[in-house]
Amino acid sequence: MTKLVLSFMLLFASGAKVIAADAMGVIIYTEPVSKQEDVLKVWMTAASTTQIEYKTTPQSLNRSRIKRSAVKSVYFFEPPVFKEAMDLYESRDYAGAREKFAACKKAYETLDEIRGNYSVLAGFYELETCRKLEDLEGLKKLLDVYQADTLEREHQRNQLEVYPVWDAVRTKSWPRLDALVREVLAEKKWIGEHLAQLKYCHGLALEGLGRDTDALIAFNGAFTADYTASEELTQKAALACLRVIKGNDEVRLAIQLWGTEDEDPNSTGYFLLQEGVALCGLWKKSLGGGQPLPAEFASLLRYKEDNKPKPEAEEKADEEGA
C-alpha cells in the first residue's frame, strides 16, 4: 500500500511540471458584446486559428468561447513562472532559466496560436539559453521543432535568422560559415546584439581557416559592435583575440627575439604582441568584469615594453658611459 501511494505521489509530482495552465489576460473586442465593455479580463484556457476559449474567473469550471474575428487584440499578463525564468536568465543562471522556460513553454502551449503568447516567448528564451550555454546541439534540436509564427517582437524574430550561423559553428564547417556570415551580413542593417554574434562567428570561421589577421579583425568587430550590452560575447571575443595572437607564428618569433639585438619593433609579430598585452591589461582593468585573466594568457603580460631587458650591447655602452 505504501509503495502504491508513493508511486502515485511521484507520478503526480512529475506530471505537475507539465500540467497546462490558464493564462490571465485581456481580450479586446472589435465591438462591445451584449452591451458590455469592449475589454474583458479573462483566464484563457485554449485557442485555435478560429476561436479562443476562456473563463471569467480563475476558479470557474465553465468555459466560454469567442470567435477570433470578433477579437481586436489580446494582451497577456506575465505568468509567475516566466518571471522566475527571466530573473534567473538576467542573473546568468542559464541552466536554471532553461528549465523554467521549458516548463512555461509546456504550460501555455494550448495558446500558442495567439500572437504574443508566453509559450512561444518562453520557447524563444529557451533557445537563447542554449546559445549562451554554447549547447549548440541542444539549440539545433529545439530549433527543429520551434514554431515562431506568433513570436511578436522584431528583434527576436531577427535573432532566429542568426541561428543558422550558430549551426554552422556547431558543425565546424568553416568555409560554409565564412560564406554564410557574409551573406547574412549583406541582408540588412543589424542591431549591435546581432552584429556582435555574426562578427564573432565569422572570427571563428576565419580562425579555423588559418586567416589570423582577418580573424582578429572580425573578433574586434564583435568586441566593438555591442560592447555595453553583450558583455559575455565581448569577453569571448576578447579571449578569442588573445588565443589567435598567442598562437600566431610571427608573435612567437617576436617573443623569441624579445629584448635581443635581432628584435624588430616594426614587425607584425611585435605589433600583435603589444596588442595582446594591451588587451590583457584591459581585461584586468574592466573587461573581465572581475574574472581573473585566464592563466594561458597571463604570460603575455611579461612582454610589456616597460619590462623589456636591454640588449647586451646597449648595456655595455651604458656601463662604459658611466
In tens, the pLDDT along 16-29 reads 344 678 999 999 98
Percent of the chain with pLDDT over 70: 87
Number of Cβ within 10 Å of residue 198's Cβ equals: 23
3-class secondary-structure state, position 36: coil
The string of DSSP letters for 122-148 reads HHHHHHHHHHHTT-HHHHHHHHHH---
**How crowded is the C-beta side of 35, counted as CA atoms within 13 Å?**
0
Model confidence at 202, pLDDT cuts 50, 70, 90, reads very high
Checking if the pLDDT of 313 tops 60, the result is: no
pLDDT at 136 over 80: yes
Nearest CA to 82 out of 42, 116, 122, 115 is that of 122
Predicted confidence band at 238 (pLDDT cuts at 50, 70, 90)? very high
Min mean pLDDT across 88-97, 157-166, 286-295, 309-318 is at: 309-318
Quick one: pLDDT at residue 144?
A: 96
Q: Give the tens place of pLDDT for each residue, 256-302.
A: 999 999 999 999 999 999 999 999 999 999 888 889 999 999 999 99
Q: What is the pLDDT of residue 230?
A: 77
How many Cβ atoms from other residues are within 10 Å of residue 239's Cβ? 19
Write down the pLDDT at residue 224.
87
Candidates 86, 81, 69, 142; CA nearest to 108 is 81
Q: Which residue has the higher pLDDT, 31 or 311?
A: 31
Count CB neighbours of 262 within 10 A: 8
Average pLDDT value over all residues in the chain: 88
**Cell triple for 248:** 600566431
What are the CB-based long-range contacts (under 8 Å, 24+) for 149-158?
149/120, 150/112, 150/113, 150/114, 150/115, 150/116, 150/117, 150/120, 151/120, 151/121, 151/124, 152/115, 152/116, 152/121, 155/191, 155/193, 155/194, 156/121, 156/124, 158/190, 158/191, 158/194
